[in-house]
Structure 1
Amino acid sequence: MWILSLELLLLAVLVFWCIGAFKRIKRLKNHCTQAFAPVQEQFVQIVEMMRNCARMQLLKEQVAGVFVPHAPQALLSSADVLESAVEQPGKRSIRPESVAALDVAWQSAQVAWQAYVQQCADKSEMHAEHVQEWSQRWQQLHTLQMHSLAQFNDAMAHYNQSIAQAPTCVVARLSGYRPGRSFQKDAALLMQPTA
């Protein structure tokens, strides 16, 4: 009789443990989704800034008659790619494929911005002044975005660590929770020459 009581006690502990593990995984996943909201909002601001910058450049070039070949168009197309990647995850849970696409679009937007700044700075004084005005705004948005990405990466690391632990991984697998993906390092840091 006492063996049956012990088995029921162990079963109750196992059930409560599974429920607790499921709630913890769900809470961590919701935290990742909440951490992604400012990332997504700042990506929208960056897209608008890139578009406004390129459009202003095109207007100034038409007035002055001095053109930088392909620079504003490349910036606009990079902004379009980033915007489509931002809209991909939507309000649903953050899938690794969506975050990967957004990460690649963000890296290419940073590279496009650096190329745009370099081409404009080399072209004329009018272009250099234009880039200097917009570079301050880019730097502000970039700094905010790096902070938000770090918070998202931290939340995703906690989530991934939680579902990788030996007993919790069974509950995660049975519940359909998969490991998430974090953003890579900043493209600007990756492009700096090494000694």
Structure 2
Amino acid sequence: MSNLNWALWTVAALLLFWGIGAYNRLMRLRNAIAAAFVQLDEHLTTRAQLCSKLLVLLQPLLSNERATFEALEQAQAEVSAAAQAARPRPYMAEPVGMLGVASAVHAAALTRLMSMLEHHAELREHADLYALVDELKMVERQRSFARQLFNQAVGQFNEAITQFPTRILASMYGFREARSL
């Protein structure tokens, strides 16, 4: 073999190993998005359970606030459906975008409920209610932190697929930009 053939084989081997390394890096970053979503999903599930308990406790006490309860129930159903759609592929932009919108609607409904609780002084005597509210606030803080970790993972992945020359491989293998919450 001539020196030119050796040089061509060396360049081809370097490109092959670089391509494998870049693909593995993108897969590792995409898997980090999925791992971060699992943590976020756990907090979404816990929040849904706590909201359901809170609604069961409040509905007999405040029957005239049915619209607030229905808004939270509907928002919770939308978040659950959006999370279900995002679970298989949390790195896909569309289902995560739907989850982001549903989460914003849920946050507004939950804020409305919390505001309503502050205006009803007669509910202060229910220790179970405020223990549930405190637990819900703690879960919300944890969910916020998990969301931040998810967004960081998405940012790292999106940065990696836009860097040259990895951008070429990303488009060849169908890696698309992920969406943050």
Query: Please, what TM-score do these two structures have when normalized by structure 1?
Result: 0.84
Quote how far apart the aligned CAs of 1:136 are.
1.1
Quote how far apart the aligned CAs of 1:95 are.
1.1
Alignment CA distance shift 1:149-1:5 (3 Å): same
Q: 2:117 aligns with which of 117, 120, 123?
A: 120
Q: Would the aligned equivalents of 1:38 and 1:148 in 2 still touch at CA under 8 Å?
A: yes
Q: Residues of 1 paired with 2:148 and 2:90: CA distance?
A: 19
Which runs of 5 or more residues in structure 1 are unaligned?
184-195
The one-character-per-residue Cα deviations of 1:116-151 (angstroms, maximum 9, x if unpaired) are 1223332x3234556644431221011100111111
Flag the structure with more relative contact order, 1 or 2, with Cα contacts below 8 A and sequence separation at least 6. 2
Quote how far apart the aligned CAs of 1:69 are.
4.4
Q: 1:176 aligns with which of 167, 174, 177?
A: 174
Q: 1:160 aligns with which of 144, 158, 161?
A: 158
Tell me which amino acid in the other structure corresponds to 1:144.
Q
Q: Would the aligned equivalents of 1:96 and 1:181 in 2 still touch at CA under 8 Å?
A: yes
Q: What percent of counterpart residues are identical?
A: 22
Partner in structure 2 of residue 96 of structure 1: 93
Q: Would the aligned equivalents of 2:93 and 2:178 in 1 still touch at CA under 8 Å?
A: yes
Q: Would the aligned equivalents of 1:21 and 1:168 in 2 still touch at CA under 8 Å?
A: yes
Q: Residues of 2 paired with 1:175 and 1:145: CA distance?
A: 32
Alignment CA distance shift 1:129-1:138 (3 Å): farther
Q: Would the aligned equivalents of 2:117 and 2:123 in 1 still touch at CA under 8 Å?
A: yes
Instruction: State which drifts further: 126-135 or 76-85.
Output: 126-135
Q: Residues of 2 paired with 1:47 and 1:109: CA distance?
A: 10
Query: Please, what TM-score do these two structures have when normalized by structure 2?
Result: 0.90
Partner in structure 2 of residue 149 of structure 1: 147
Structure 2 SS opposite 1:119: helix
- What is the correspondence of 1:1-195 to structure 2 with a 5 Å cutoff? 1-61=2-62, 67-122=64-119, 124-127=120-123, 132-183=130-181
Q: Would the aligned equivalents of 1:55 and 1:72 in 2 still touch at CA under 8 Å?
A: no
Q: Would the aligned equivalents of 2:37 and 2:90 in 1 still touch at CA under 8 Å?
A: no
Quote how far apart the aligned CAs of 1:11 are.
1.0
